[in-house]
Amino acid sequence: MYISIKKLLKEGKLAQEVTLKGWVRTFRSNRFIALNDGSCLENVQVVVDFEHTDEALLRRITTGAAVEVEGTVVESQGKGQAIEVQAAKLKVLGDSNPEEYPIQPKKHSLEFLRENAHLRVRTNAFGAIMRVRSTLAYAIHKYFQENGFFYVNTPIITGSDAEGAGEMFRVTALDAKNPPLTETGEVDFKKDFFGRETNLTVSGQLEGETFAMALGKIYTFGPTFRAENSNTSRHLAEFWMIEPEVAFLDLAGNMDLAEDFIKYVLKYTLETCRADIEFLNQRFLDEEKTKPQNERSTMNLIEKIEFVIHNNFKRVSYTEAIDILKNCNHNKKKKFQYLIDEWGADLQSEHERYLVEKHFQCPVILFDYPAKIKAFYMRLNEDGKTVRAMDILFPGIGEIVGGSQREERYDVLLQKVHDLGIKEEDLWWYLDLRRFGTAVHSGFGLGFERLVLFTTGMTNIRDVIPYPRTPQNAEF
Ligand code: 4AD
Ligand code: MG
């Protein structure tokens, strides 16, 4: 019976005949194969009867080779595992030249593994990260599906700039060397594939809103693209975003939803991926040991996840946050790169992390930001200068969620569009929502990779997505 290692370790019985297929991690003493098939973190030990096995075959059992084993489940003689498989038949399905195979059974640097991203998922750490990522994605769908939300696939190619930040990748079928020109000598996008300028989406929110205003509660979960030249450990040019949108929901309800949702997916994933997260926890602790004492985290990875699950997020207005930052010693001693001196300043990640890690020491929801530093679609407050925005800030990550109550008043939204010089004709359909059956509604966007970063204890966003897209890098 062909069986996965995960199933074998869970349900395998002594004396059972099994067939395993996987990749050799190590082969010791011409006798013990540590076999991994990716179904779980654990390897299974396969014991080869080397006295009755062809020399030439033994030589082909090398790290990285794909093998098929038929054998019997027996009690393990060695320590570290309860059972092992006594091989009766062994076949090398795909050889792996040990002189050339990059992933050797030793510690490789994360940089080296990034250069070998097609093979890095065969290591314990990346196997664990990618299984955790998959489980988080499942938990996200499960949460929304069980709570009456409909999954909506918003377009990847679009004509609008949802965030109004101008950080878009152009999509075109024109000949770059010889594009058609208008009479005034500009590129004539009327002759392009879609008859207009188009780009890859930066967010599915605007289209998501149209569906929320019909189906009530929706969510998107798809790739988004940003041509922002931020070469940081928190930014990708291609990342996955989850964007729920809910009709008749105000900002306070939006915060409740975001908090409940995050706690649920963390709890589900911690329970489901216990072994992987325990492995990553150990990895996290080993990394911490390389840091000076005063920079080490007071909690280990599992404690950090549990802390988020069991504690209320602290809700703080932007104005309160600015007061805290302005008066903190860190600011007074000029230790921030960007000093906070007045209301209206945009918060940098150093400020967000100060609030979360030093001041409150728990996840924080900042709300009611100055209108000037937020996107055009956010609901203007009665004070005329702040909007009903909310950002959720996480320890070690900074901003993990950005959201808001949406401006539902036609006149106010139109004025904003005009003031910002956004082309009204690109957003006619979005404005229509405010003309036909408008209502209070809210939503947010969760950056999926930032959630995976938090859950795995990794520190660079390039290590939690299979093939990172960053400035100057689109290998694979
Ligand atoms: O704050 P952002 O830009 O908000 C929006 O796009 C809204 N349309 C969301 C909404 O209200 N429906 O992005 C949302 C989240 C951020 O909080 C962050 O977690 C993540 O997306 N994010 C990125 N993640 C990785 N790389 C980048 N370059 C990211 N930019 C944003
Ligand atoms: Mg944001």
- Torsion angle of alpha carbons 162, 168, 174, 176, nearest 10°? 160
Whether ligand 1 lies within 6 angstroms of the CB of 239 is answered as yes
Q: In this structure, which residue's CA is closest to atom 4 in ligand 1?
A: 402
Query: Within 13 Å and on the Cβ side, how many CA atoms surround 234?
Result: 17
β-strand partners of 219? 151, 244
To test the ligand 1 pocket, which listed residue (236, 241, 349) has its Cβ within 8 A of the most ligand atoms? Answer: 241
Q: In this structure, which residue's CA is closest to atom 9 in ligand 1?
A: 445
Q: How far is the CA of 445 from the centre of ligand 1 (A)?
A: 6
Which ligand is nearest to the Cα of residue 346, counting in written order? 2
Residues 6 or more apart whose Cβ sits within 8 Å of residue 176: none
List Cα–Cα distances, 474 to 12, 238, 240, 273, 299, in angstroms. 43, 10, 16, 30, 35
Q: In this structure, which residue's CA is closest to atom 18 in ligand 1?
A: 447
Whether ligand 1 lies within 6 angstroms of the CB of 243 is answered as yes
Q: How many Cβ atoms sit within 10 Å of the Cβ of residue 119?
A: 14
Q: In this structure, which residue's CA is closest to atom 24 in ligand 1?
A: 447
pLDDT tens digits in sequence order for the chain, 476 residues long: 999 999 999 999 999 999 999 999 999 999 999 999 999 999 999 999 999 999 999 999 999 999 999 999 999 988 888 999 999 999 999 999 999 999 998 999 999 999 999 999 999 999 999 999 999 999 999 999 999 999 999 999 999 888 888 799 999 999 999 999 999 999 999 999 999 999 999 999 999 999 999 999 999 999 999 999 888 999 999 999 999 999 999 999 999 999 999 999 999 999 999 999 999 999 999 999 999 998 888 899 999 999 999 999 999 999 999 999 999 999 999 999 999 999 999 999 899 999 999 999 999 999 999 999 999 999 999 999 999 999 999 999 999 999 999 999 999 999 999 999 998 988 999 999 999 999 999 999 999 999 999 999 999 999 999 999 999 999 99
Written as six digits, the tokens of 161 are: 């700039």
Whether ligand 1 lies within 6 angstroms of the CB of 205 is answered as yes
Whether ligand 1 lies within 6 angstroms of the CB of 449 is answered as yes
> Given the DSSP bridges, would you call strands 150-151 and 217-225 parallel, antiparallel or unpaired?
parallel
Ligand 1 nearest-atom number relative to CA 445: 9
**Tokens 């000093």 sit at which residue?**
339
Q: How far is the CA of 162 from the centre of ligand 2 (A)?
A: 12
**Tokens 């001693």 sit at which residue?**
333
Whether ligand 1 lies within 6 angstroms of the CB of 203 is answered as yes
To test the ligand 1 pocket, which listed residue (450, 451, 458) has its Cβ within 8 A of the most ligand atoms? Answer: 450
Whether ligand 1 lies within 6 angstroms of the CB of 400 is answered as yes
Which ligand is nearest to the Cα of residue 450, counting in written order? 1
